[in-house]
Structure 1
Amino acid sequence: MGITDLLCRALQEKSLDILNSMDFVSTTKALLHTLRAEGYDILLMIVQSVCENNGIEIPDMNACYRSATGRSCHQRNSITFEHHYRFDVFHDAIDFQVEEVLNNRFNDGAVELLRLSSALEPRDNFKLFNIEDIYKLAEKFYPNDFSGQELHYLRSQLEHYKFDIIHHERFQNISTISELCRRLVENEKTQYYHLIDRSIRLVLTLPVSTATTERSFSSMKLLKTSLRNKMEEELLADSMIIYIEREFTAEIDTDSIIDEFYSMKNRRAQLQ
């Protein structure tokens, strides 16, 4: 959990830093592989120390392991406690993180999408700007959003954009794609670079398809518990919105909501 914490925090940011996030994916994988190869003995020493300090019995690691079903070690090919904890528990937990979580969520297609999207990053005065990468991003990943003619015109806009926006004094020292999008609107550049603006807005939806979705499922687990398993969809959706956007709803005055609800029509019960 300590190894994956930095990556999790980066992916939960509302303004996703694509380059740093992909770096964290690579470093997380490398650290997990190192942990798998070298971390078991260190972990075992720590566990043994904790057990000794708290009077917890430690099994003989060379003894035959007996499963919870009560089967003898002969039925499990004489597997020892050492083998069980190292391979069946420690290695399996790490392999699950690498294969099921990291490799499945960050497959070759997802990695390429994020890499091509980074060509729109304005940081360091558009250091990563690349016409071919932006064109390939629109052509390969957003074919329904750009027609063949628009793709041809997109390349033409990118050629002008390269000399206009990148060297324009009003677009210097920008660090995020969202800030770039706002700056294009403020300077009325979107009417000339509407296809580039469309590409930027499509890239800005990437955090919505990752962090916000994960937050929604996490919120659902907290709200729809076993005691609330009959909650209707409308109430669940309203409750989730309030929970997810709690930094905004915290500023809402509850009394003002009651007053507005009370003033809508006459009611038998007195709310005030």
Structure 2
Amino acid sequence: MKIFEALSNGEISSGRGLNQEIMIKRPEDTRWGSHYNTLTSLVTMFFSVVDVLETIVDSRSNSEQKYEAQILMTSIFSFDFVFNMHLMKNILGIPNDLSQVLQRKDRDIVNAINSVNICKGRLQAMRESVWASLLERVSYFCNSHDIEVLKMDAMFLVRGRKSQKSQPITNLLHYHVEVFYTVIDMQFQVLNNRFSELFLCMACLNSSNSFAAFDRQKLSRLAQFYPKDFSAIELYIFMDQLQNYIIDIRSKFVELKSIGDLAVKVVVTKRDKIYPLIYRLLTLALILPIATATVERTFSAMNIMKTRLHNRMGDQWINDCLIAYIEKDLLDKLDNKLIMNRFQNMKTRRGQL
């Protein structure tokens, strides 16, 4: 009923056709941008989420589910949760286009660099002028869902602790400085330290306009990001190899549109044997989006495997569980009899599997 009321009031929108999706993302949905979509869905479907949690609390389900639901109910009906939900929705919405660029098969590095600069500009604008409107939206959301709105001039209370901080602060100082500014500055740090320099170096591999972006120093810096793949001696050899490489390919490789096309051309012409270090750097640049997505999948899976009730799992045990969960497509191909025989032969056991 509340969803229909929100639709009629224009608070949420719907569409027609196939693939209309208004739901909380599944835990296994770990593509870049899934967290932003989850927060957007949570803001839109907050009434439905509350209804589901209330149903679980009031039902005769097992104690673990009721306990989790009660904890969640206490958390989401707080100003702190609502503020962080809206803040992170805004923060993650800024680099969402950048994440889409990084997932494209052509790996358009030039557009990725442009997207990074746009993100930094929007973050700076958000830091300077969005606080008032953010606080207004949070207050409106809290009033709409019967959540207590904190007074910004009141003293900040540390939840779950008996003692205050050594120097008491107001809610305004906590949420505006310690949360709002800190989160934005952390995002700035990620863009400055990781993406900007990395993408600028990767852009030097771009083959457009007769390799106009080629820069030996930046490509050497890119190789230094992979110390386990390039030794100190190989870095010296790499610099000399780059000089021969650019003279060779600039006159013969034309009309290439991406790093992927360049890598294919290098293999077809067997120049991967002539310039092995450069080809190694090309492959590392190509697998960067996949490697980043794998890390994201791992952290998402960790939240599934190591829950609040299973928070004492050892490192080795959780590593084994994560491998089994993340690589489940490969493990599904294994014969169960082989697994049981291996387990049975590890040591003498009373029972026979």
In the alignment, residue 125 of structure 2 is paired with which amino acid?
A: T
Alpha carbon RMSD of aligned pairs, Å? 4.0
Gaps of 5+ in 1: none
Once the 2 structures are TM-superposed, how far is the Cα of residue 40 of structure 1 from its aligned partner? 2.6
| Among 210, 223, 226, the residue aligned to 1:142 | 223
Match of 2:15 in 1: none
Match of 2:325 in 1: 243
Match of 1:90 in 2: 176
Q: Specify whether residues 211 and 117 from structure 1 end up closer, same or farther in structure 2 by C-alpha distance, changes over 3 A only.
A: same
Q: Give TM-score, length-normalised by structure 1.
A: 0.67
Query: Which whole-Å CA distance do the structure 1 matches of 2:265 and 2:90 have between them?
Result: 38
1:166-207 CA distance string (max 9 Å, x none):
35xxxx4x44x3453244224433223434313313433544
Match of 2:154 in 1: 65
Gaps of 5+ in 2: 1-88, 225-231
Once the 2 structures are TM-superposed, how far is the Cα of residue 159 of structure 1 from its aligned partner? 0.9
Match of 1:22 in 2: 113
Once the 2 structures are TM-superposed, how far is the Cα of residue 118 of structure 1 from its aligned partner? 1.0
Once the 2 structures are TM-superposed, how far is the Cα of residue 160 of structure 1 from its aligned partner? 1.2
Match of 1:201 in 2: 283
The alignment-based identity, stated in percent, is 23
- Is residue 161–residue 193 contact of structure 1 (8 Å, CA) maintained in 2? no
- Is residue 272–residue 279 contact of structure 2 (8 Å, CA) maintained in 1? yes
- Is residue 224–residue 231 contact of structure 1 (8 Å, CA) maintained in 2? no
Once the 2 structures are TM-superposed, how far is the Cα of residue 22 of structure 1 from its aligned partner? 3.4
Query: Which whole-Å CA distance do the structure 2 matches of 1:44 and 1:108 have between them?
Result: 30
Matching of residue 261 in structure 1 with residue 261 in structure 2: no
Q: Specify whether residues 128 and 218 from structure 1 end up closer, same or farther in structure 2 by C-alpha distance, changes over 3 A only.
A: farther
1:100-130 CA distance string (max 9 Å, x none):
2331x333676233202112134xxx24824
Match of 1:49 in 2: 140
Q: Specify whether residues 42 and 183 from structure 1 end up closer, same or farther in structure 2 by C-alpha distance, changes over 3 A only.
A: same
Q: Secondary structure at the match of 2:234?
A: coil
In the alignment, residue 136 of structure 1 is paired with which amino acid?
A: Q
Q: Specify whether residues 145 and 24 from structure 1 end up closer, same or farther in structure 2 by C-alpha distance, changes over 3 A only.
A: farther
Q: Specify whether residues 65 and 128 from structure 1 end up closer, same or farther in structure 2 by C-alpha distance, changes over 3 A only.
A: farther
Query: Which whole-Å CA distance do the structure 2 matches of 1:38 and 1:185 have between them?
Result: 51
In the alignment, residue 90 of structure 1 is paired with which amino acid?
A: H
Q: Specify whether residues 99 and 55 from structure 1 end up closer, same or farther in structure 2 by C-alpha distance, changes over 3 A only.
A: closer
Report how many aligned residue pairs link the two structures: 245
Match of 2:129 in 1: 38
- Is residue 139–residue 151 contact of structure 1 (8 Å, CA) maintained in 2? yes
Once the 2 structures are TM-superposed, how far is the Cα of residue 89 of structure 1 from its aligned partner? 0.5
Q: Give TM-score, length-normalised by structure 2.
A: 0.54
- Is residue 242–residue 278 contact of structure 2 (8 Å, CA) maintained in 1? yes
Q: Specify whether residues 46 and 137 from structure 1 end up closer, same or farther in structure 2 by C-alpha distance, changes over 3 A only.
A: closer
- Is residue 266–residue 272 contact of structure 2 (8 Å, CA) maintained in 1? yes
- Is residue 11–residue 21 contact of structure 1 (8 Å, CA) maintained in 2? yes
Match of 1:229 in 2: 312
Once the 2 structures are TM-superposed, how far is the Cα of residue 163 of structure 1 from its aligned partner? 1.3
- Is residue 91–residue 184 contact of structure 2 (8 Å, CA) maintained in 1? no
Query: Which whole-Å CA distance do the structure 1 matches of 2:276 and 2:168 have between them?
Result: 66
Once the 2 structures are TM-superposed, how far is the Cα of residue 39 of structure 1 from its aligned partner? 2.0
